[in-house]
Amino acid sequence: MDVSIGLPNTVPGTSGEQLVEWAKRAEGRGFTSLGTIDRLVYQNFEPLTALTAAAAVTERIGLVTNVLLGPLRANAAVLAKQALSVHALSGERLTLGIGLGGRDDDFEFAGIPLGHRGEELDAMLARMKEAWASEEMGPRTDSPPTLVVGGAVDASFERAAKFGDGWIAGGASSEEFAGMAAKARDAWATAGRDGEPRLMGLAYFSLGDDAEADANGYLTDYYAWLGAEVAGYIAGSAAKDGETVKGYLAGFERAGCDELILCPCASDPGQVDLLADAAGL
């Protein structure tokens, strides 16, 4: 299983200097990819913009949106152009993970209706694939970005099989991941796709002397919209020591995960080294 690390693009107060230093350290320590999560109404950097900054200071490491909230982007062709541009500028390193999103305030602020998101995302994915295949739109690349679809309902697995190269889970446990991965494989086979879908997951980590405070401060705020109990559960599930990191890696690998992205709760680039040491990189 590939071991990857998230950028702190949604950790409030992260500076541009911290973000690019984080990217350089992550590449130097041997992580497979850099991930970015997405919100609109929050103190965060937009995912593709953050990955462009990371691409400029790295050469090898993959770039992943895990996930970008598709329906918040009003024009599929423009999003296709933006993603293809990041892919080309980075030497074809982009994996575009895309999902629905579900926060009322994000959609209200964007002026986009929350309803019919599934149908709209289907149309968006179809248009993006058409745009990438078109000779009219550049830049030209040898291949388009890898496309993975996020979500935990049956329609998400079917969407991944119809449009994507794989599927990505949200913040699920390794046991939950195993069950959803089986559904993703079944949908892939039902759609008549060859081979196997790429299966990706994410978890949170917070290491060092301030691990507990960083996880609680960030995750209870980021997930406050789900209610205090659920936000507290998510904060409590973050890996806060090396043994838990190792346990998560082993559990997700047993569950059939191809790539696990561990997302941070603090912006100090020293977290990169702490995670690399815990993961044995």
Beta-strand pair 62-69/94-99? parallel
3-state secondary structure (DSSP) of residue 41: coil
Q: Predicted confidence band at 278 (pLDDT cuts at 50, 70, 90)? A: very high
Residue 54 CA to residue 71 CA, distance in Å, equals 25
Residue 281 CA to residue 272 CA, distance in Å, equals 11
pLDDT single digits (tens) 88-100 = 999 999 999 999 9
Residue % of the chain over a pLDDT of 70: 100
What is the CB-side half-sphere exposure of residue 118 using CA atoms within 13 A?
A: 10
Q: Are 265 and 206 in contact (CB under 8 A)?
A: yes
Query: Exposed, middle or buried, 13 (CB in 10 Å: 0-12/13-18/19+)?
Result: exposed
Contacts of 104 (CB under 8 A, 6+ apart): 114
Predicted local distance difference test score (pLDDT) of residue 115? 84
Average pLDDT, integer, range 163-180: 96
Q: pTM of the entire structure?
A: 0.97
Domain 2-279 has CATH 3.40.50.920: no
Residue 202 CA to residue 190 CA, distance in Å, equals 26
DSSP code string of 122-149: HHHHHHHHHHHH-SSS----SSPPEEEE
Predicted local distance difference test score (pLDDT) of residue 116? 85
Mean pLDDT of the chain: 97
Predicted local distance difference test score (pLDDT) of residue 273? 98
Q: Predicted confidence band at 136 (pLDDT cuts at 50, 70, 90)? A: very high
Average pLDDT, integer, range 246-258: 98
